Structure 1
Amino acid sequence: MDKSYLKERRLQLGLTMLEVAKRVGVSEATISRWESGDIDNMKRDKIALLAKALEISPLLIVGIDEDDNTKKPSSLPPLTPRDERSIKKKLESVLNDLMPDSALAYYDGDEPMSDEDKELLRISLENTMRLAKQMAKQKFTPKKFKK
């Protein structure tokens, strides 16, 4: 794994390997090996100390881009009116299958599910169906049809 950004950041801050090593509590050689990528399995406490010393996010050190971690729903393809109708139809079908007279899904043993719980379940199912549809569109749409 390429960790050259660690060295670049250290140099940007005007720090020597010895200064960073003292702040983190490791040897200069360890800092050198981290910067060259020879050591990939850093301990969590050392990641936190190194991030503090270099004034960067610990996520960057472990190779997680903060932008990837906070993906916005807009990065998924939009749903068409046809998709909306399909989701609505499937949702109605699933909810009808869960009606108390046709199944025990709304019944937890003591008392039937409240109207509020039913509505929360409906919202959850709808959001899940929307997300699944968008993810499927993103994954299975050929590149030539993507905008």
Structure 2
Amino acid sequence: MSIYQRIKDVASEKNLTVKDIEKALNFSNGSLRKWVNNANSERLIQVANYLDVSTDYLLGRTEKKHYYDLTEKDEKDIGIQVDKILNDMTGDVSFYGEPMTKEDKEKLRASLEVAVRVSMIEAKKKFTPKKYRGGNHDNTKDN
């Protein structure tokens, strides 16, 4: 997939057109269309920052839009961590004096998965060195 097509696809996901991006970044009309397989690096960084994706994603080097997106291994690790947390809970956990039902336990598991996932993403944002952030070094805003 070309750089231009990736830009167009991400823009569409954000309800934007390529023309909207060009206008917002003060690029000449039709300048991004010329980026079929080659782009000016400074302008590529501007577009990546504007769309909140990594330059590596726009260049087709990765399918991860953000350096902090979770991998399959991360997702497996989340499951392992949640299992560990649940197994470490000793005795019958109860709410308001009543033992947890199977449905309550499933809700607790789902909540723990969300909490661990969010923590993992925040850790990646905080601790990933800039040189490993997909070439999008100027993008320091949190999502």
- Which interval holds the TM-score relative to the shorter structure? 0.3 to 0.5
Larger Rg: 1
| Greater helix proportion | 1
Q: Which has the higher contact order (CA 8 A, sep 6+)?
A: 2
